[in-house]
């Protein structure tokens, strides 16, 4: 680097002609500009603030040929410390020296923050304005002339308030210790000021960098945290997936091991899940069925369809069906459909249903054997029973000799029980014949009103015996039915209603047309039937109260037979009841279809 003589830049002592003077001025200007650029570049090339400061003081000291150049950093409590220094070897170093706050009054701070430069050519001159407390210090270190330039940093360069934004960071100071006075030249002032500005920029950038580094550190920590969380989430998700896969496998293992058909069908009636039994029973693998509509899987879809509609309306469905196995055999199955509901109240939606199909062929075969046995036994009982019954009737007439009072009583009991036994045997045989399809309904056009009147008249004696009032509202309407069997059903329902009514109770037999169906109804105000037994009373031998057979003389077969008869007519029989308020037994008969005539 070029050695630059500060003194040579002072204006010439001797007068020159004007042209030379301008040329000299320009040359000096250029030299100055080059020197500033050089020093600025050197400072900028330093990366650490400490290095920047030390480069600055060395360069200034070298150029100005000052005895000492230093940087004094000022802290917020107005105390401060000399943090960088370039000093000639024979001049005392004051690096690290700390000043108390009184050295630096607040108004000094304000003035410097506004950019005040202090150039003192002779500190001992009273006009120089050096504070008395400082004079001792200056003398102690042999300082004779000094130049002080503030290092001011701008806190928020985008805000308009310069005064508020300017912060006095420290001072750049040059000392002359050997010669005084020393008149500080324009050039010296300018150089110091420019370099103080460079230091300010470097500090601001350093702080900005520090801030950026803080931000980066902070952001990196956050990212690391998010990354850890993500990794944890991935681990947890994987664990959940493994657990799900494991439970799915278990579920499949269980459903595949069971000898029943298990499936899940969606609301569009497409299969979504099937167990392995589908392969064994129907020869269709679960994979081949998945996504298929019920009617693509079952030939008997027509029989299933009403039940499917029912479960998709939210009802649990249990019914029996016959299905064809892959080996060609026909199997009896019990089918249960359970709706899959989501949401509650008005938001409730049926998403599909679960289907469970159990093979009940063996049970059915045993039932058939049992029925056959009962029917054979009943058949064999009928002839001896009839003769016992007749013998008892003859004995009761007294034609074969008179009986004692006790003898009469015994005879009555024997007659009553034989009567029940005859009814039971007849009932069993009737039911067996109907179920075996041996009974053909002799359907003809008949008048509903006639049937109602016939049944009411036939049961009237019993009603009187039980002191029950029986009313009917016959309607003249033609139906297509076997009159005898319909009268049998009506009488059975009426006799039940009488048996279960209290004395002076009331019974009604009505007929009405609903939804294109004729509905017969027998209504009583008796004890009623518990809701969970409303279906079971149609099972053979089922009685709500097991003592009914003794008390009311029933067999538990009447409703079973009635239902079979009505079903043979293409109708439906069911019971409705409110406990303690009575019961309604309702059956439908399809309207007269002249097409069948
Ligand atoms: P039973 O010969 O015993 O009357 P049913 O098959 O006709 O046989 O009736 C079966 C059972 O249904 C009866 O034992 C009784 O418990 C109940 N039941 C039938 N009708 C009525 C009714 N009107 N009121 C109350 N319970 C009834």
Alpha carbon distances (Å) from 497 to 406, 493, 500, 561: 33, 6, 5, 16
From 494, 498, 559, the mutation candidate for ligand 1 (largest count of ligand atoms within 8 A of CB) is 559
Q: Can you give the pLDDT at residue 167?
A: 86
d(CA 486, CA 477): 14
* 588 within 8 A of 572, measured Cβ to Cβ: yes
Going by the DSSP 8-state scheme, the letter that residue 149 receives in this structure is E
**Ligand 1 atom closest to the CA of 548, numbered from 1:** 14
From 431, 544, 552, the mutation candidate for ligand 1 (largest count of ligand atoms within 8 A of CB) is 544
Q: Which residue has the tokens 């069993």?
A: 428
Q: Can you give the pLDDT at residue 397?
A: 86
Which residue ranges does the chain devote to CATH 1.10.287.130? 364-435
Which residue ranges does the chain devote to CATH 3.30.450.40? 2-211
pTM, to two decimals: 0.48
Which residue ranges does the chain devote to CATH 3.30.450.20? 258-359
**Number of C-beta neighbours around residue 230 at 10 A:** 10
Indicate the SS3 state at residue 1.
coil
Q: Does domain 444-594 have CATH number 3.40.50.1820?
A: no
Q: Can you give the pLDDT at residue 429?
A: 83
From 543, 546, 581, the mutation candidate for ligand 1 (largest count of ligand atoms within 8 A of CB) is 543
pLDDT along the chain (597 residues), means of 10: 38 61 81 79 73 87 91 89 93 89 79 89 83 77 91 72 76 89 88 88 75 85 93 94 92 91 96 95 94 94 92 92 91 95 87 96 89 81 87 87 86 86 84 82 91 95 95 92 94 96 95 85 96 92 72 80 93 94 94 49
Fold of 364-435: Helix Hairpins (1.10.287)
Q: Can you give the pLDDT at residue 548?
A: 59
d(CA 114, CA 65): 28
Q: Can you give the pLDDT at residue 178?
A: 83
**Ligand 1 atom closest to the CA of 549, numbered from 1:** 3
**338 CA to middle of ligand 1, Å?**
30
Which residue ranges does the chain devote to CATH 3.30.565.10? 444-594
Alpha helices by DSSP H, listed for 398-447, are 405-435
User: Atom 23 of ligand 1 has which residue's CA nearest to it?
Assistant: 497
CATH fit for domain 258-359, picks 3.40.50.80, 3.40.50.970, 3.30.450.20, 3.40.50.12280: 3.30.450.20
Residues 6 or more apart in contact with residue 86 via CB below 8 angstroms: 54, 57, 58, 60, 61, 62, 68, 69, 70
Q: Which residues line ligand 1 (CB under 6 A)?
A: 496-497, 500, 524, 526-527, 529, 537, 543-545, 548, 554-560, 583
Q: Can you give the pLDDT at residue 580?
A: 92
* 367 within 8 A of 414, measured Cβ to Cβ: no
CATH fit for domain 2-211, picks 3.30.450.40, 3.30.420.40, 3.40.50.2000, 3.40.50.720: 3.30.450.40
**132 CA to middle of ligand 1, Å?**
126
d(CA 343, CA 349): 6
d(CA 244, CA 238): 10
């Amino acid at each position: 680097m070029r050695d630059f003589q500060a003194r040579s830049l002072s204006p010439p002592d001797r007068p020159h002609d004007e042209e030379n003077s301008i040329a000299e001025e320009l040359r000096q200007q250029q030299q100055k500009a080059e020197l500033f650029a050089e020093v600025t570049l050197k400072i900028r090339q330093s990366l650490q603030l400490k290095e920047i400061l030390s480069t600055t003081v060395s360069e200034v000291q070298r150029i100005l040929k000052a005895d000492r150049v230093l940087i004094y950093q000022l802290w917020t409590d107005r105390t401060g410390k000399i943090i960088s220094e370039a000093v000639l070897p024979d001049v005392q170093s004051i690096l690290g020296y700390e000043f108390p706050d009184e050295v630096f009054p607040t108004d000094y701070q304000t003035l410097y923050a506004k950019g005040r430069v202090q150039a003192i050519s002779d500190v001992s001159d009273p006009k120089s304005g050096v504070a008395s407390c400082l004079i001792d210090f200056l003398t102690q270190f042999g300082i004779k002339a000094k130049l002080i330039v503030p290092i001011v940093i701008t806190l928020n360069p985008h805000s308009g308030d310069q005064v508020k934004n300017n912060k006095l960071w420290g001072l750049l100071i040059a000392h002359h210790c050997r010669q005084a006075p020393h008149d500080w030249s324009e050039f010296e002032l300018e150089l110091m000021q420019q370099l103080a500005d460079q230091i300010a920029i470097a500090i601001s950038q350093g702080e900005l960098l520090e801030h950026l580094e803080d931000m980066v550190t902070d952001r990196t920590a956050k990212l690391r945290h998010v990354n850890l969380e993500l990794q944890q989430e991935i681990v947890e998700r994987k664990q959940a997936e493994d657990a799900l896969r494991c439970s799915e496998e278990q579920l499949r293992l269980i459903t595949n091991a069971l000898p029943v058909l298990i499936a899940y069908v969606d609301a569009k009636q497409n299969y979504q899940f099937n167990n392995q039994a589908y392969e064994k029973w129907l020869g269709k693998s679960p994979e081949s069925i998945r996504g298929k509509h019920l009617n693509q899987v079952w030939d008997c879809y027509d029989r299933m369809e009403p039940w499917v509609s029912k479960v998709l309306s939210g009802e649990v469905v249990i019914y029996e069906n016959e299905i064809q196995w892959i080996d060609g055999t026909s199997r009896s199955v019990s089918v249960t459909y359970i709706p899959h509901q989501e949401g509650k109240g008005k938001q409730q939606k049926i998403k599909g249903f679960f289907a469970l199909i159990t093979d009940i062929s063996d049970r059915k075969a045993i039932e058939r054997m049992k029925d056959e046995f009962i029917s054979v036994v009943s058949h064999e009982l009928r002839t001896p029973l009839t003769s016992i019954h007749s013998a008892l009737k003859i004995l009761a007439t007294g034609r074969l000799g008179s009986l004692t009072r006790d003898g009469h009583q015994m005879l009555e009991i024997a007659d009553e029980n034989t009567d029940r036994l005859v009814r039971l045997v007849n009932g069993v045989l009737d039911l067996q014949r109907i179920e075996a399809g041996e009974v053909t309904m002799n359907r003809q056009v008949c008048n509903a009103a006639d049937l109602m009147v016939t049944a009411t008249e036939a049961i009237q004696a019993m009603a009187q015996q039980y002191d029950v009032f029986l009313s009917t509202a016959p309607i003249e309407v033609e139906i297509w039915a076997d009159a005898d069997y319909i009268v049998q059903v009506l009488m059975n329902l009426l006799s039940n209603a009488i048996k279960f009514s209290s004395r002076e109770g009331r019974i009604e037999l009505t007929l009405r047309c609903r939804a294109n169906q004729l509905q017969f109804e027998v209504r009583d105000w008796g004890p009623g039937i518990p809701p969970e037994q409303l279906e079971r009373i149609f099972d053979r031998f089922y009685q709500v109260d097991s003592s009914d057979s003794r008390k009311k003389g029933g067999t538990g077969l009447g409703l079973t037979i009635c239902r079979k008869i009505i079903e043979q007519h293409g109708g439906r029989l069911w019971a409705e009841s409110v406990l303690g308020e009575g019961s309604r037994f309702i059956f439908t008969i399809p309207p007269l279809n002249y097409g069948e005539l």
